[in-house]
């Protein structure tokens, strides 16, 4: 399958690692795959009518809602940066029932991941799309795909692909962003929007109403790439962007990211004092926090998973339970990685949703209930004393 001389693939700089990048030799070096492969569902063919350059491009027609792709394994080396780019033209790309949540038409991507370029929908003339990826340390062949539709996001219509380029980069250029293949967080740099929200990040708040919290994209203030996730609290509130990721049981993970704040301050009645932070949603496990006005600051924490655990809800959070705050926070470049410093691993707090409740949470809840009952009893006795 891999006919490329590995020495060529390791050369840095100008070399395009894609074989048959302009489809001049039809599907040579490419594999055609589709969710529904039957002839009435998809057609793959070389197109001599439309091309971005050369004599040909490649045409995919989804005759019914489908997720189809042309795939090629690229020889790379691990822990390195690659830019994948190409040209796409579309005609009538849409889902029968409208595009689904992820809202993806025709794009370039890495198979089996959500790492992809921007997409083209409807009918659009040739447009260049690209994305940058950092390979895992042990990775040798990421499979790239020219794709029409996606998982849970089948589409109809036609797309043409041409001049597919995979090039190794020495560094991430300018304000571009590299998706890291060993980071289980999707859209970790908040670069991809879906409608009014970020793809894969779910916003939630204690008071989820427009005059109490604003979730927005910020293309002016960002740590890297084109945008960051911004949360503004006009009033005291507790909110966050959350993403649930897949994890293994009995592992220690490091969760890290970058936070910037402006005028973050807590209510004087708060029982604890927490500003902007990264946390495991639904627990007291969190990073050190930022208050007041701070520049982009790296923050991190470690967490141990339980014996039956498969998911971890990571949140970029402004405020906390018992710590409602005002102000603005920006979050960017969130990362989760296996943590391997045996001397410190024993310090990792356990997050086990199937196990007993997190102790501090229960302790504080009990304390709150007891204090509440004492306060009510005191008020009742005062009222009775005044009346008598």
Instruction: Identify the H or E element spanning 248.
Output: none
| 225 contributes a contact to Ca ion by CB under 5 A | yes
Q: Among 129-137, 214-222, 288-296, 321-329, which window interacts with Ca ion (CB under 5 A)?
A: 214-222
Is residue 30 within 8 Å of residue 72, measured between CB atoms? yes
Q: Which residue lies nearer to Ca ion by CB, 223 or 233?
A: 223
Q: How far apart are CA 264 and CA 105, in angstroms?
A: 40
What's the closest the beta carbon of residue 315 comes to Ca ion, in angstroms?
17
Q: Among 12-20, 54-62, 200-208, 331-339, which window interacts with Ca ion (CB under 5 A)?
A: 331-339
Nearest to 338 by CA among 243, 256, 277: 256
Candidates 95, 330, 332, 339: give the one binding Ca ion (CB under 5 A).
Answer: 332
Q: Which residue lies nearer to Ca ion by CB, 51 or 116?
A: 116
DSSP codes, 102-118: T---EEEEETTSS-B--
Q: Which residue lies nearer to Ca ion by CB, 17 or 276?
A: 276
| 149 contributes a contact to Ca ion by CB under 5 A | no
| 189 contributes a contact to Ca ion by CB under 5 A | yes
| Coil, helix or strand at residue 340 | coil
| 257 contributes a contact to Ca ion by CB under 5 A | no
Q: How far apart are CA 50 and CA 46, in angstroms?
A: 10
Q: Which residue lies nearer to Ca ion by CB, 89 or 177?
A: 177
Q: How far apart are CA 199 and CA 103, in angstroms?
A: 9
Q: Among 79-87, 121-129, 190-198, 319-327, which window interacts with Ca ion (CB under 5 A)?
A: 190-198
| 230 contributes a contact to Ca ion by CB under 5 A | no
Q: Which residue lies nearer to Ca ion by CB, 299 or 309?
A: 299
Q: Which residue lies nearer to Ca ion by CB, 89 or 222?
A: 222
Q: Which residue lies nearer to Ca ion by CB, 238 or 333?
A: 333
Tell me which residues in 40-59 interact with Ca ion (CB under 5 A).
none
Question: Which whole-number Å values give the CA distances from 155 to 36, 98, 104, 108, in the listed order?
Answer: 12, 9, 8, 15
What's the closest the beta carbon of residue 321 comes to Ca ion, in angstroms?
28
Binding residues for Ca ion, rule CB under 5 A, total 5
What's the closest the beta carbon of residue 330 comes to Ca ion, in angstroms?
9
Q: How far apart are CA 319 and CA 275, in angstroms?
A: 5
Is residue 210 within 8 Å of residue 300, measured between CB atoms? no
Nearest to 281 by CA among 222, 228, 351, 223: 351
What's the closest the beta carbon of residue 320 comes to Ca ion, in angstroms?
24
What's the closest the beta carbon of residue 297 comes to Ca ion, in angstroms?
15
DSSP codes, 150-219: BTTB-EEEEEEEEEEEEEEESS--TT--EEETT---TTTTS--EETTEETT-EEEESS-STTT-EEEEES
What's the closest the beta carbon of residue 333 comes to Ca ion, in angstroms?
6
What's the closest the beta carbon of residue 188 comes to Ca ion, in angstroms?
8
Q: What binding mask, one character per residue, do residues 273-312 give for Ca ion by CB under 5 A, x or -? A: ----------------------------------------
Q: Which residue lies nearer to Ca ion by CB, 119 or 332?
A: 332
What's the closest the beta carbon of residue 46 comes to Ca ion, in angstroms?
38
| 222 contributes a contact to Ca ion by CB under 5 A | yes
Q: How far apart are CA 261 and CA 331, in angstroms?
A: 9
| 335 contributes a contact to Ca ion by CB under 5 A | no
Query: Which residue minimizes CB distance to Ca ion?
Result: 225
What's the closest the beta carbon of residue 310 comes to Ca ion, in angstroms?
28
| End-to-end Cα separation, the chain, in angstroms | 93
Q: Among 2-10, 148-156, 183-191, 358-366, which window interacts with Ca ion (CB under 5 A)?
A: 183-191
Exposure on the CB side of residue 190, measured as CA atoms within 13 A: 32
Q: How many CB atoms lie within 10 A of CB 309?
A: 19
What's the closest the beta carbon of residue 245 comes to Ca ion, in angstroms?
18
Question: Which whole-number Å values give the CA distances from 146 to 28, 49, 58, 315, in the listed order?
Answer: 14, 19, 9, 32
The strand pair at 178-180 and 122-134 is best described as parallel
Per CB under 5 A, residues contacting Ca ion are: 189-190, 222, 225, 332
């Amino acid at each position: 399958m891999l006919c490329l001389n590995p020495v060529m693939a390791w050369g840095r700089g100008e070399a395009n690692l894609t074989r048959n990048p302009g489809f001049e030799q039809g599907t040579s070096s490419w594999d055609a795959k589709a969710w529904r492969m039957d002839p009435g569902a998809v057609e793959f063919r070389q197109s001599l009518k439309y091309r971005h350059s050369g004599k040909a491009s490649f045409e995919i027609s989804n005759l019914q809602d489908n997720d189809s792709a042309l795939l090629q394994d690229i020889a790379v080396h691990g822990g390195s940066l690659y830019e994948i780019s190409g040209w796409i033209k579309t005609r009538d790309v849409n889902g029968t029932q409208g595009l689904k949540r992820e809202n993806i038409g025709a794009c370039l991507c890495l198979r089996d991941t959500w790492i992809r370029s921007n997409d083209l929908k409807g009918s659009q003339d040739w447009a260049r799309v690209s994305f940058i990826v950092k390979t895992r340390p042990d990775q040798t062949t990421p499979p790239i795909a020219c794709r029409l539709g996606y998982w849970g996001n089948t589409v109809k219509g036609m797309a043409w692909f041409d001049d597919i380029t995979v090039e190794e980069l020495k560094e991430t250029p300018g304000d571009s962003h590299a998706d890291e293949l060993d980071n289980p967080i999707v859209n970790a740099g908040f670069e991809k929007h879906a409608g009014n929200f970020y793809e894969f990040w779910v916003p939630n708040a204690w008071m989820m109403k427009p005059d109490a919290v604003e979730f927005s994209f910020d293309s002016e203030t960002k740590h890297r790439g084109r945008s960051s996730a911004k949360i503004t609290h006009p009033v005291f509130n507790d909110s966050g962007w959350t993403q649930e990721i897949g994890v293994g049981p009995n592992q220690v993970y490091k969760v890290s990211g970058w936070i910037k704040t402006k005028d973050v301050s807590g209510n004087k009645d708060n029982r604890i004092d927490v500003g902007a932070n990264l946390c495991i949603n639904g627990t007291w496990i969190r990073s050190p926090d930022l208050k007041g006005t701070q520049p982009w600051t790296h923050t991190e924490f470690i967490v141990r998973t339980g014996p039956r655990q498969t998911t971890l809800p990571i949140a970029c959070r402004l405020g906390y339970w018992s710590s409602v705050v005002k102000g603005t926070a920006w979050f960017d470049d969130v990362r989760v990685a296996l943590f391997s410093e045996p001397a410190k691993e024993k310090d990792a707090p356990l997050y086990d949703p199937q196990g007993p409740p997190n102790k501090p949470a229960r302790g504080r809840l009990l304390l709150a209930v007891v204090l509440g009952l004492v306060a009510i009893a005191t008020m009742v006795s005062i009222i009775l004393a005044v009346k008598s």
